[in-house]
Amino acid sequence: MRSRFFSVRAAWMVFLVLGLTGLCGSASAQENRTRVVTTLFPLYDFAGNIGQDKIDLSLLLPPGVEPHAFDPKPSDIARIAQAEVFIYTGNAMEPWAARIVKGVGNPRLRVVDASRGIALMKMEGDEAGTGHVKGEQAHHHRDHALEGVDPHIWLDFANSQQIVDTIADALVLARPADERLLRQNAEAYKEKLRALDAGFATEVSKCPKREFIHAGHYAFGYLARRYHLTYVAAQGFVPDSEPTAKQLAALARQVRSRGLKVVFYEELVEPRTARTVAKETGAELLMLHGAHNLSRQDFDKGTTFIGIMQDNLAHLKRGLGCQP
């Protein structure tokens, strides 16, 4: 009986030691990961594909929140202060970021401006007050924080590849021992972006129409320029700038005169403008997702940037007359 008691006790001791060892190992692995905070979803997804299990990654923007209206809370600033790498899109998209990082008091924090080295699209005013792009020339509302440029750089997939390189450089500086792995991960992800870019170029070129109307804020100028499309947006760069009745009437006339069958709306914003234009013209409503951020449901189910863009391609083809 006593022998059996000691046998059971010994087994429990082994189980306890193994369990504690596993917990310590897990904690050690957790502590060894580099804490990375990103602002928008594309940066979050890019960083996750590069850093994988070498980083402890978080998205500053809560799922479901429209990014242009985002105002960082003290808890958000604390998360940035505790990070080792903070990645933001650039001063055109997050004008508050540079000011905040100056005040966090963390000399070890690596601050990454993802727009570094990217030529931002210039903008000019136009009579209608709507944004539009044709070929290489863009015309937009002047209502963004950094006047004169379009901040939606990730919607040109060549820019996305450059952003991946910028993020990889920062993670290599934070984890030099993992440089080879990080560079391999970055290159593998860039290959997916190149395939995405080639797919857009090939598929869009087959479509009979070269124009699309987005009854939301101006976000797709880079994408339109890359694939030589004409693009019209109902609003300027921020979603809360409501179009006037005159602008809505101009959009409806353009939908009818061009024979367009689809009006696009944007994610995370009530599509009142799109519904109005669609009702007036009989056009179909489809989402064109700017990927700034995800709904809570999409975030929880692991939606990816590339998946969003593949859905966009299918919708864009329909809007350009490639699909019935």
Residue pLDDT tens, the chain, 324 long: 444 433 434 343 333 333 444 444 444 445 699 999 999 999 999 999 999 999 999 999 999 998 877 888 999 999 999 999 999 999 989 988 888 888 888 889 999 999 999 999 986 444 333 444 443 333 333 334 456 688 999 999 999 999 999 999 999 999 999 999 999 999 999 999 999 999 999 999 999 999 999 988 889 999 999 999 999 888 765 555 677 888 888 889 999 999 999 999 999 888 898 999 999 999 999 999 999 999 999 999 999 999 999 999 999 999 999 976
Instruction: Classify residue 24: in a domain, yes or no.
Output: no
Read off the tokens for 187: 């290159």
Rounded distance between C-alpha atoms, residue 107 and residue 60, angstroms: 20
pLDDT at 9: 44
DSSP assignment of 1-12 equals -HHHHHHHHHHH
Q: E strands, the chain, where?
A: 34-38, 55-59, 85-88, 110-113, 131-134, 137-139, 211-214, 230-233, 262-265, 284-287
Looking at residue 177, the DSSP 8-state letter turns out to be G
Instruction: Classify residue 204: in a domain, yes or no.
Output: no
Instruction: Classify residue 253: in a domain, yes or no.
Output: no
Q: Which domain holds residue 86?
A: 31-119+152-192
| Half-sphere exposure of residue 207: CA atoms within 13 angstroms, side-chain side | 27
Instruction: Classify residue 161: in a domain, yes or no.
Output: yes
Beta bridge partners of 11: none
Instruction: Classify residue 65: in a domain, yes or no.
Output: yes
Which CATH number belongs to the domain containing residue 162 in this structure? 3.40.50.1980
Instruction: Classify residue 15: in a domain, yes or no.
Output: no
Is the whole-model pTM more than 0.75?
Answer: yes
Give the contacts of 285 (CB within 8 A, at least 6 positions apart). Answer: 262, 263, 264, 265, 271, 274, 275, 278
Q: Is the dihedral of CA 142, 144, 148, 152 positive or negative?
A: negative
Instruction: Classify residue 246: in a domain, yes or no.
Output: no
**How many domains, the chain?**
1
